Each structure stands twice: as structure tokens, then as C-alpha cells.
Amino acid sequence: ETGVTQSPTHLIKTRGQQVTLRCSSQSGHNTVSWYQQALGQGPQFIFQYYREEENGRGNFPPRFSGLQFPNYSSELNVNALELDDSALYLCASSPSRVTGANVLTFGAGSRLTVL
Amino acid sequence: SQQGEEDPQALSIQEGENATMNCSYKTSINNLQWYRQNSGRGLVHLILIRSNEREKHSGRLRVTLDTSKKSSSLLITASRAADTASYFCATEPAGANSKLTFGKGITLSVRP
């Protein structure tokens, strides 16, 4: 069984640019969540996708958007990059809901630096 | 916003000693989970405890949950140098379906 894979692993952008991060979910998982982790902080929930639809969103502005594809892979897009967007972006997948007991499988993350 | 708050923020112990980490949270939860992260890479799930459970064990890990105090503790027994990592508690708020809220984490250093 393959785990969660993310690409790219590292990237550098400048303010105002746009970025797309990609994630392949673990086999058998149909739910994908994205988290932002700033240096020295815990991950913060950006949004979740289930069956290709956004299924919950954290406190992030609309310039953070996403997609989920029929094979359950996902993209995170960030427009008009700001310096504070520099962070590790983590993708996590989880299986169909088991009440009160969903465990997330995380990818290794994409480290974004905005200059 | 980060619901969970872990303490201490950093912990340094000798190999073979036990490590105890605490977590407090604010809202009603479905479950509480602990994750481990090595050097800014992806998080790895360690253990999950449901809101109707009080204690769970997994290998050298023991987690307790007190919903009346909205707190949890993670005990790692007989620590090893390889346990050196950051540890995060994460809560699944009631009705939030896998949308976990993480704390800021605890940095554990185990000296050989």
C-alpha cells in the first residue's frame, strides 16, 4: 500500500506569484485535508475535500483554493503569495468515515519559501 | 487557531527514563490523537483515544483522557534516542469529521 506523496518537496517563489502543490492520497482513502505549518508551530487546517467537493475550511482567505480529482488526488493553489505564506504545507488523507476514529496519514510536505 | 496546548514546550531526558507530555483543549471532542514529527517532515500517527475512553496503551505508549478537565497525557516509557522528535496532540472537535486541530507541539530530546 502506497502512502501519501506530495510534490514538489521544496520551492521558492516571490511575493505576488501563484503556486500549485500536489498530493496523491493513500490507496483506499477518499478524503484529503491540507494543513499549513509555520516554523515552530503546529499544523493549521486549511480545508478538506471529500468526493471532489470542499468539505470544511479553516481560517484561510479565498486566495487559498483546492481541487480533488476522481482518483482522490488533490491540489492546493495559493494566489498572490505573501511572505507569511512561507511554511510547510502538509497533505493528509483518511479513509471513509468511521465514527469518531479517523486517523490521518500525512505526506512529507512541500516547503514553500516566499521571498 | 490552535485549540490544543501542550506542556512542557520542551523536554530533555536520559535514555531509559519515562517522558510525560500533557495536552489541554477547549471544546467537546470526538477523539484526541497524538502525532510525532521528525525534523519538519510529515507527521506520523501514534495513538487515538475516543471521548468515551479513559486510557489506552500501544507498545511503550500510554495515553489518558479526562474529558471533565479537557486534558490528556502521553507517557512514553523506557525512552530511546530514536524517540527524539516533536510531539503534537490533535483533537477532532465534535461533528468535525477528521478536521483535526493541533497544538503547538512538544520538543522531546532523549540523550543517549
Asked whether the beta carbons of residue A97 and residue B98 sit closer than 8 angstroms, the reply is yes
Distance (Å) from the alpha carbon of A75 to chain B's nearest alpha carbon: 17
Residues A81 and B100: their CA atoms lie apart, in Å, by 25
- More confident: A101 or B27: B27
Average pLDDT, chain A: 93
CA B82 to chain centre: 17
Rounded average pLDDT over B61-84 = 97
- Is the pLDDT at A99 greater than 70? The verdict is no
Question: For residue B56, what pLDDT is reported?
Answer: 97
- Cα(B23)–Cα(B7) distance, integer angstroms: 6
**Residue the block writes with cell 497544538:** B103
Please tell me which of the candidates A31, A100, A108 has its beta carbon nearest to residue B41: A108
Nearest CA in chain A to B87: A42
Please say whether the beta carbons of B5 and B104 come within 8 A: yes
pLDDT tens profile B12-64: 999 999 999 999 999 999 999 999 999 878 899 999 999 999 999 999 999 99
CB B94 within 8 A of CB B27: yes
Mutation target vs A (from B35, B63, B98, B107; most A CBs, 10 A cutoff): B98
Cα→Cα distances B111→A94, B14, B67, B88, Å: 35, 5, 33, 20
pLDDT band (50, 70, 90) for residue B5: confident
Residue of B nearest to A32 (CA): B98
For A45, which of B31, B48, B99 is closest by C-beta distance? B99
User: If pLDDT is split at 50, 70 and 90, which confidence band does B78 have?
Assistant: very high
Q: Out of A27-31, A70-74, A100-104, B57-61, pick the least confident.
A: A100-104
